[in-house]
Amino acid sequence: MLLSARNTKPWRSLPPFFALFRCLRRAELKFSTSSSSAKTSLYLHEVYDDFLPWLEQKAGAEISSVLSIGKSAYGRSLYASKPIQTGDCILKVPYSVQLAPENLLPAINYFLGDGVGNVAKLAIVILVEQKLGQDSEWAPYVSRLPQPEEMHSTVFWSHDELEMIRPSFLYQETIKQKAQIEKEFLANRPALRYFSNVLGDVTLKEFRHAYGLVTSRAWHSTQGVSMIPFADFLNHDGISEADVLSDEGKKHSEVIADRNYAPGDQVLIRYGKFSNATLLLDFGFTLPYNIYDQVQVELSIPHHDQLRAMKLELLRRHCTPTIKDVNGFSSSENMFTIKKVRSANGKGRGIPLSLRAFARVLCSTSAAELDDLAMEAAQNDGRLARYPLKNRSREILAHQFLLSRITEFIEKYSACIEVMIHES
C-alpha cells in the first residue's frame, strides 16, 4: 500500500512487549485481521456483480477473469473464481482507471500551489468525487470505499481509546499523524472554500476520512500515489510474496499469484513488511503472529549525569547514524528499534549496534572509560560497539542495564493491560 513496500537468553522476556497491540481491549471491538487460512467457511457471499463489468467497460480491457468480489469476516475481499497457479497474472488494472493526483481538477490544483503533497491532493480528488455523488464518473468505486465508521486506524480513535495505547510509541506517531492531517487541512482550506460550489463546506472530519482512505488504500506509483480499483479489495497476508506491481511499458498495475488457489479461496497479497504498529496506524488492523513486528525503545542520558556533555559528544562522533526504519517511522538519536530477538541458532537481528553503543556510553562512570571507548572505536572502523568490549565486566553491566530497562517497559505495559482488562 502507500507506505513502501518498516541475543542473549534474557531477551526472551520481550514477547509480551511485542504482543501489546493484540492484547488491547480494542482488538475485540474494532480490529480486523487478514489471515492466510481464510477459506470458503469465511466466504460470506455478497453480490458486487456490477462493479467489475463497470470497471472493465471504463478501462476498455479485461481486468480479471479469475477473481470475484465477496465479503469475508475481514471485510470486502477477492476470491478465486477459477483455479489459480503460482505465477499466474490474476489482475491487470490500467493506469487510465486509477485515481491519482493528476485527476485533480486543474483549477483546484492551481489554487493549491506547489507545496501540497500527493497524499493531500489525492484526498481532495476523493472529496470532489464524493461530493458529486451519483454524478461522479467514479461513483461505483467511490461509493464502495469504507465509510468513516468503518475506518479503524488509530487516527480515527477517540481520546479514551487512544489512552489505551498511551505507553506505546504508536500513541506518539498517531498524535503526530493527526496533527499533520490537521495542518494540511488548514493549509488547503482557503482553496477548498474557493470551490465551495463543488465541494461545499469541507470539514476536518471529512478531510481526515479522505486522507485516511489514501494512506490505507493507495500504492506508490509514477503518478505519486494511486488508488487502484478492484486491486484494493485484496487483503493483507504478512507472509505472502505477492504485491501490486507497475508495468510502465504496458501502463497498468498487476498482481502475480505467489501460490496456488482453489475456487473459493481468498486471494491475498502483502501490503509491505510492516510491524503491527504500522498496520494499526495506517490500516486499522494487527496480525496475531507478525514476523515483521518490532518495538521502539527510548533511552536518554540524565541531565544530572556529570559526564553528560562528554557522553553526548562521544555518541555524536562515533555512534551509528540514525536511520529511518522500513515502516516510515521517524526516530531520534535516543530511539532504537528492536525487530527480532536472536535465537539460539544465531538467527535474527539481535540487539541493534546503536543500542549497544548507547548502553555502553550511558553506563560509563568516568572520563577514562569514555576515552577507552573512543580509542577502541578509532582502532576499528570509527563506530562504537562494533566489537564486544575487551572489559567483559563492563560489557555485562551494559547488557544488564538494557535488560532492566526492557523489563521496566514490559511491566509498565502489563500494568496498563491489567487496567484495561478490569475496566472491560
Q: How many CB atoms lie within 10 A of CB 377?
A: 20
Catalogue the E-assigned strands of 12-88: 67-72, 75-80
pLDDT of residue 345: 67
Contacts of 69 (CB under 8 A, 6+ apart): 46, 48, 51, 52, 76, 77, 78, 79, 230, 233
Quote the DSSP letter at residue 109.
H
pLDDT of residue 25: 36
pLDDT of residue 167: 80
C-alpha cell at 314: 562521544
CA of residue 350 relative to chain centroid, distance: 22
Q: Among candidates 293, 288, 289, 285, which has minimal Cα distance to 72?
A: 285
C-alpha cell at 45: 457471499
Residue indicated by cell numbers 495506517: 282
299/354 Cα distance (integer angstroms):
11
pLDDT band at 349, cuts 50/70/90?
A: low
Residue pLDDT, tens place only, 80-128: 999 999 999 999 999 999 999 999 888 888 888 777 889 999 999 999 9
pLDDT of residue 380: 79
| 2, 256 Cβ separation under 8 angstroms | no
Q: Which of 5-19, 69-83, 309-323 has the highest mean pLDDT?
A: 69-83
Q: What number is the average pLDDT over the span 36-46?
A: 40
pLDDT of residue 253: 94
Residue pLDDT, tens place only, 229-247: 999 999 999 889 999 998 8
pLDDT of residue 388: 80
What average pLDDT does the chain have? 81
pLDDT of residue 319: 67
Instruction: Give the length of the chain.
Output: 424
Mean pLDDT lowest among 24-28, 45-49, 119-123, 303-307:
24-28
Single-letter residue type at 131 = K
256/122 Cα distance (integer angstroms):
26
pLDDT at 300 over 50: yes
Beta bridge partners of 255: 91, 244
Q: What number is the average pLDDT over the span 289-295?
A: 85
What angle is formed at CA 216 by the lines to CA 211 and CA 222, rounded to 5 degrees? 85
Residue pLDDT, tens place only, 350-384: 678 888 889 999 999 999 999 988 888 888 788 88
Percent of the chain with pLDDT over 90: 46
- For the entire predicted model, the pTM comes to 0.77
Q: What number is the average pLDDT over the span 26-40?
A: 39
pLDDT at 330 over 60: no
Q: What number is the average pLDDT over the span 336-363?
A: 77
What angle is formed at CA 122 by the lines to CA 178 and CA 78, rounded to 5 degrees? 95
Q: Which of 31-45, 47-61, 333-347 has the highest mean pLDDT?
A: 47-61
Residue pLDDT, tens place only, 387-417: 888 888 988 999 999 999 888 888 887 887 7
71/301 Cα distance (integer angstroms):
52
pLDDT of residue 81: 95
pLDDT band at 341, cuts 50/70/90?
A: low
pLDDT of residue 126: 95
Beta bridge partners of 335: 298
pLDDT at 129 over 80: yes
Give the DSSP H or E segment for 338. strand 335-338
CA torsion 161-164-167-172 (nearest 10°) is -10
Mean pLDDT lowest among 1-10, 141-150, 326-335, 390-399:
1-10
pLDDT of residue 323: 43
110, 195, 225, 392 from 113: Cα distances, Å: 6, 15, 18, 59
Residue indicated by cell numbers 547514524: 321
pLDDT of residue 379: 83
How many helices, marked H, and strands, marked E, lie in the chain?
16, 11
Single-letter residue type at 45 = H
pLDDT of residue 321: 53
Q: Among candidates 91, 162, 101, 90, which has minimal Cα distance to 127?
A: 101
Contacts of 378 (CB under 8 A, 6+ apart): none
226/219 Cα distance (integer angstroms):
5
pLDDT of residue 376: 84
